Amino acid sequence: MVSIPLTPGEITLSDLEMIWRDDYSFHVDPSARPAVDAAAAVVARAAAGTKAIYGVNTGFGKLASIKIAPQDTETLQRNLILSHCAGVGDPMPEPVVDLMMGLKMLSLGRGASGVRWAVIELLQNMLTHRIRPVIPAQGSVGASGDLAPLAHMAAVMMGEGFATCQGKIMPGRDALRLCNLVPIVLGPKEGLALINGTQFSLAYALAGLFDAWRAAQAALITSAMSTDAIMGSTAPLHPEIHALRGHAGQIEAAATLRTLLAGSAIRESHLESDHRVQDPYCIRCQPQVTGAAMDVLRMAAKTLETEANAATDNPLILSDGQIISGGNFHAEPIGFAADMMALAISEIGAIAQRRVALMVDPTLSFDLPAFLTPRPGLNSGLMIAEVTTAALMSENKHLAHPTVTDSTPTSANQEDHVSMAAHGARRLMQMVANLNVILGVEAMCASQGIEFRAPLLSSPPLQAVLSRLRQDIATLGDDRFIAPDLAAAAKLIASGALADAAGIPLPTL
């Protein structure tokens, strides 16, 4: 596999998504090394001096006033990592671990952290050999860095802790030995540089962002299908309506829906003599809701891209050689972004669930059979699939509660305001998984509805989507064990396969 050089400070969302999705191999561009070496030299001189400098020759947090002797600086860094390995809970998913390690490399590569190039090289070699630290996912409050999870990563670099390698969990030292790598002895400030940072929260937030955007794209597809299934009007998609408001996401969503529905014989069949004046909001206001969610996701994306290019540990080595303590480890920007994304994910699901409810209700679906079964009564059809979407919608509403407002003091009140970005970002993956099921059920319902309109057909793009769905999920006749259908539909949403089947350009981040 070819390894692509990435320059710290110049990383794009596209780069990061390739790392997340495509097992994209990269390394820190060697052009970053002079700045890294220069900062490491500054730290080495400071460690040999007599002046107390936080993180170089002092204790940490509330213990920062305690001076450490030069001969104890290696022990200081080692003890820091071991004592901070206090994470609990299930291990991080391996793709998120890879992304977190890559983000840490890129942050250190800015040349403001004071680590030796060997630290970046070891992280790179661990990624290359697929040595993934086993990192408990709970324990960070998102300020003073993601201390516990990043400590579990750093522990493996020292030959401690546990890692997966070649499909097995083993002690960190054994994983390094298996790949002919040598544990590193951390020098002055290097342990602190590894754990003082936002890369855990950021990796989860980026993973949530990329999957949420894919779901938003799918929501445009499924909502267009629902519109045809209930014989909804396309008049609310008129471009001038959306231009008069001016929001970019709304304009894009409406344009995409117009493209998806163009050429639908179902739509043409009720342009005249339709007694309905207006559709419910879940049909009529799709651009205003999904488009607004797209705008929110893009705002969050901008924040996360900036953070991915940042130096976020403490203290930092400035361009003039000063070593200055600050607060770049505080993950408040990620916390805000995660809360924004949670709201967007929740709302995409909320309006999609209402479309599901609309389609299964014979009083609202414009002559579709109850619960979209050809023989209601004997069969329950998609009755409980709709209930499942209601449960997941409600769960996402609760998960969307802001986390960044829930600060609490830690570390003997030295760290007296924290971001809670870590679990704010971590919840996003579950929220998107819930959303994928809601959208998958919507696709199932809409496909049934469109087929009940035969011999009329939907538009070419939507018929292609329906055909793709039918490759994995048969038309529902008599009731059957339906759980596998829901799982297959959610997978089609999550993979992007359903959206790809439409064969049209979709909005991008």
Q: Which residues carry out catalysis?
A: 54
Tally of CB atoms within 10 A around 314: 22
Question: In what helix (H) or strand (E) does residue 274 lie, and over which residues does it extend?
Answer: none
String of DSSP letters for 284-344: HTHHHHHHHHHHHHHHHHHHHHHHHT----SSEE-TTS-EE---TT--HHHHHHHHHHHHH
**Distance (Å, rounded) from C-alpha 47 to C-alpha 116?**
14
Opening angle at CA 236, ends 234 and 241, nearest 5: 135
In contact, 207 and 214? CB cutoff 8 Å: no
In contact, 94 and 201? CB cutoff 8 Å: no
**Distance (Å, rounded) from C-alpha 338 to C-alpha 508?**
19
Beta-carbon contacts of 35 under 8 Å, excluding residues fewer than 6 positions away, are: 110, 111, 112
Beta-carbon contacts of 271 under 8 Å, excluding residues fewer than 6 positions away, are: none
Pairing of strands 132-133, 162-165: antiparallel
Alpha-helical segments (H) within 246-285: 248-261, 265-269, 281-284
Question: In what helix (H) or strand (E) does residue 462 lie, and over which residues does it extend?
Answer: helix 460-472
In contact, 175 and 161? CB cutoff 8 Å: no
**Distance (Å, rounded) from C-alpha 490 to C-alpha 375?**
26
